[in-house]
A = this chain, B = another copy of it.
Amino acid sequence: MMKRIELTWEVGFFRSEDQPPEKRVKSVVPGAVQLDWARAEGWGPYTYADNWKDYLWMEDVYWSYAAKLVLPDRKQDERVYFVCKGVDYRFKVKLNGKVIHDQEGMFTPFEIDITEIATDGDLLEILIFPAPKSVAEPAARIQANQSCKPAVSYGWDWHPRLIPLGIWDETYLEVRPACHIEDCEVFYELNDDFTQADVRLEYKLSQKGNGQLVWKMLDKHGNPVGEVSAPASVDEGNVTMILDNPELWWPNEQGEQVLYTSQVELLDENNELKDTRKNRVGFRRARLVMHPGAWDEPAEYPKTRSNPPITMEINGRQIFCKGTNWVNPEIFPGIITRETYEPLVTLAKEAHMNIFRVWGGGIVNKESFFDLCDEQGIMVWQEFPLACNNYIGTPEYLKVLDQESKSIIKRVRRHACHVLWCGGNELFNGWSGMTDQSLALRLLNSNCFNMDPQKPFIMTSPLAGMAHGSYLFRYQNGEEVFQVMPKASYTAYTEFGCPGPSPADYLKCFIPEEQLFPPKKGTVWETHHAFDAWYPGSNTWLEIDTIEDYFGPCSTLEELTERGMLLQSEGYKCIYEEARRQKPRCSMALNWCYNEPWPTAANNSLINWPARPKPAYYAVKASCRPILASARIPKFKWQEGELFSPELWILNDSQYPVPAGQIEAFIKIGDEEIFLIRWNYPELSPNWNMPGPIIRFQLPKVDAGQMTLILRNPANPDMDSEYVLLYRERQ
């Protein structure tokens, strides 16, 4: 059986490849060279104030990890491997000064059989090159356009420039039997009515053996439902089994997340267990299909093409994708563990979400992320590490992309949660400048087709018919999301944002007290993205002008943040519910963004770093309930005497019908709650919305600053909704 031995690492930096470091400090592996150095130097947290600026020089030097080998005992028929699941980014591995491995790319694991070449006390080194940069200037994401290094680290509108380097995933020595399982993977095909799965195990042994390979499939209770064996004398091959009526894996709130276990055992000639692998298997079929009516468009000659399909179909059922854009949950991915992911994935599930778009500016997450999504039913749209750049298809770049994409595909494809490949973010827009002809994207399509043909692939988001944006509660021309969204008509809103400040108590954790109020440019507010973040000169993401224009001057930090958070909450409700109303033409609503990798002062995020929900999270949670009463509201700010005219709807994206019932609408202004209308709605079909009456109500004179539209279903309060709006008396 396998035996794992951890190594003890130290790390140091130097200015050129062949120069030895002046000193080395203790390293925590996996981690990042920056964190090791800061720890050794006793620096304050990089999340506080502008501490992160101290790290900037570290991207441009060489780093060297060193570990003295303490080789484990091994039997004669065992081997010792150096196993590494990821080094960030360009590196060489040396044993006693001799290069034994040379690689560019953080997503390709490697292992080296060191049995014959290493002895006790040898020095194992990993030499890390400076962060890849295609150009020396400007210090911005464009420097990432010839590498597979996630571009976000080079600086983004919500991410400081901090480019992690170093060993970022599990790295250890392992003693293995000479004949062990080098690789094994389960593939399957479901028949058209999902009553049968043709399951196949592909395996590769490190060498021919004398015993046999036994493959068992266990159901969700751990009961065996299939077993096949093959002689180990064939060191590469596949075995198959047929499962009748497999229990299917479903996304959150669409059914159970059933996971089988595939167990592979390698036995020797005495039937003694030499090696084993366990993997979970979820049976499901994911497709992108055309929405109802899509083929009828366009109607007229000259006739262009119909929009590409973006409606997600799981196991033959079209599913409205409610979800969000996932970004790195930490600046340094080396410190991410299952515990980092767990609360975030759980919060998504609790908010009725069923999909993460894992944005191409960030990393491809660690295994535990996919494990959690498998378990909690969050579908994963996985992008390759390309974002907002033109990744020109030079031979050097294509070679690394080919290697990295194959490693990513091989690792991710086996997860039940994984339903979509995507080339990267916004590559077909002017600021990126890539096209369908870009060799990098044709390579990715080719690799996905060849390695994972049953999974859909899109070159980027947005495609034709899809849209990104809007990203503000109110635009400079005065248009609010309340007006922008109802007149838009897209097949999927795969990014949209509504910014909001972080809560006051949270801000106090990383903004020095003297800078806290009022917020000013040139302070920590700015470096934590409250000013000039989206583009220079903009008020993003605090949008203080918009807040004060609606509410008047703010006199305390609490007043400012609460008002800003209200705008964010009501804006997000508007967008999510409007996207849902546009079903079935529209089939996705994914806000930008879910989480964040460090504390922002203001951001479009729903959850503050590391996993602290903002009020907008709860607003989105309400709007994502499978069944709810909803209102399309013409605008945010109302005045005495105006005709208040919300449009009532029942939204249903569950797989069940909604029985006929009643919605009562009230408006609360000041302390007064006024009954507006009672709507008797008939039964709704599964996954179908129902438009209802348009209320028309002349707003009375009340001494109040806000009003709340309240929708109640007396028989089913779970459907109740509230919308907070501004109210002003006539001057």
**Alpha-carbon separation in the docked complex, A458 to B493 (Å):** 26
Residue A467 interfacial (CB < 8 Å): yes
Instruction: Judge whether A303 and B446 touch: CB under 8 Å.
Output: no
**Alpha-carbon separation in the docked complex, A320 to B443 (Å):** 29
Which residues of A417-442 have CB atoms within 8 Å of chain B's CB atoms? 428-430, 433, 435-437, 439, 442
Main secondary structure of the interface of A (DSSP, over half): loop
Residue A514 interfacial (CB < 8 Å): no
**Alpha-carbon separation in the docked complex, A662 to B458 (Å):** 52
Instruction: Judge whether B450 and A306 touch: CB under 8 Å.
Output: no
Instruction: Judge whether B302 and A463 touch: CB under 8 Å.
Output: no
A449 / chain B contacts, CB cutoff of 8 Å: 439, 442-443, 445-446
Contact with B along A302-327 (1 / 0, CB 8 A): 11111111000000000000000000
Chain B nearest CB from A470 CB (Å) reads 4
Instruction: Judge whether A464 and B464 touch: CB under 8 Å.
Output: yes
Instruction: Judge whether B450 and A488 touch: CB under 8 Å.
Output: no
Which residues of A254-290 have CB atoms within 8 Å of chain B's CB atoms? 287-288, 290
**Alpha-carbon separation in the docked complex, A466 to B475 (Å):** 32
Q: A288-B435, A288-B437, A437-B457 are in contact. Are A304 and B462 (CB under 8 A)?
A: yes
Instruction: Judge whether B468 and A303 touch: CB under 8 Å.
Output: yes
Residue A211 interfacial (CB < 8 Å): no
Instruction: Judge whether B305 and A463 touch: CB under 8 Å.
Output: yes
Residue A471 interfacial (CB < 8 Å): yes
Instruction: Judge whether A302 and B445 touch: CB under 8 Å.
Output: no
From B437, B443, B456, give the contact of A456 (CB < 8 A).
Answer: B437
Instruction: Judge whether A496 and B302 touch: CB under 8 Å.
Output: yes
From B430, B465, B496, give the contact of A306 (CB < 8 A).
Answer: B430
How many copies of this chain sit in the oligomeric assembly?
A: 2
**Alpha-carbon separation in the docked complex, A453 to B305 (Å):** 25
Q: Tell me how many residues of A have a C-beta within 8 Å of chain B.
A: 50
Chain B nearest CB from A394 CB (Å) reads 12
Chain B nearest CB from A248 CB (Å) reads 21
Instruction: Judge whether B469 and A428 touch: CB under 8 Å.
Output: no
Which residue on chain B has the smallest CB distance to residue A461? B305
A484 / chain B contacts, CB cutoff of 8 Å: 301-302
Q: A288-B435, A453-B439 are in contact. Are A464 and B305 (CB under 8 A)?
A: yes
A429 / chain B contacts, CB cutoff of 8 Å: 295, 303, 305-306
List the 3 shortest-distance A-B pairs measured between CB atoms, nearest first: A301-B469, A302-B467, A295-B430
The interface of chain A, by Cβ under 8 A from chain B, is: 287-288, 290, 295-296, 301-309, 428-430, 433, 435-437, 439, 442-443, 445-446, 449-450, 453, 456-458, 460, 462-471, 475, 484-485, 488, 490, 493, 496
Given contacts A295-B429, A303-B467, A436-B463, 20 further A-B contacts (CB under 8 A): A287-B437, A288-B437, A301-B467, A301-B469, A302-B493, A303-B429, A304-B463, A304-B467, A305-B428, A305-B460, A305-B462, A305-B463, A305-B466, A308-B428, A308-B437, A309-B435, A309-B436, A446-B449, A446-B450, A464-B464
